[in-house]
Amino acid sequence: MPAVKHTAAPRPAEIPGLGPRTRAAIPATARQAVVVSGKDRDSNRSTALLYARDGLAGGWRAAAGPWPAHNGLEGWTDHHVAGDLRSPVGVYTLSDAGGRLPDPGALLPYDEHPRFAMSGEGFFGESLEGSFDYVIAIDYNRTPGVTPLDRKRPLGAGRGGGIWLHVDHGGPTQGCVSLPEARMKDLLRALDPAKEPVIVMGDAQALRR
């Protein structure tokens, strides 16, 4: 009788463009990931996609995007400090949301507050009004489970904070990631705390590590 050939089961699909170190930083329990990738270290333009997987052993699939995005004026950094105008590279949980406008149907806890009002001009003279109409706090140097407006900084004030996903104003940010308003509303309606969502963010070369 000829030997039976056993075919190995295909490996679950991974998120494209991520290297072993970045993939290892994604919690095993996460089933949603917003991936924000910049073209290079000093670029303030990036691309965002939402990935999802069915079950903890399932493969990742693109669920929405790609969407144009902005990040910090000076690009990306592995060691963000206050005022460096760079966005922090890494994998961070997404646990809280809010904004100046009423809740558009967010699944994350949502804090509607007038303190999210924004005014002034961006780096290229663009209006900042409406930038914080919708925000999702990125859990960099903050305590998860509180409003994005909370100013506690577990790593110390020198390491910066207040890093959010927010509405794009047509130019680079102080260190946040910004998306078109419609895409922010899409994310708020899609991100489910039961799926332990994360953001994976950085320049393309850093994410390939």
148 burial (CB, 10 Å; 0-12 / 13-18 / 19+) is buried
pTM of the full predicted structure?
A: 0.91
Residues near 29 by beta carbon (within 8 Å), at least 6 away in sequence: 56, 196
Q: CA-to-CA distance for 90 and 1, rounded, in angstroms?
A: 54
List beta partners, residue 150.
Answer: none
**All structural domains of the chain with their residue ranges:** 20-207
pLDDT digits (tens, 9 = 90+) for 161-190: 999 999 999 999 999 999 999 999 999 999
Q: Provide the total of helices (H) and of strands (E) in the chain, helices listed first.
A: 3, 11
Top-tier CATH class for 20-207:
mainly beta
Predicted confidence at residue 3, as pLDDT, reads 55
Low-confidence ranges of the chain (pLDDT < 50): 4, 6-9
Q: CA-to-CA distance for 40 and 22, rounded, in angstroms?
A: 17
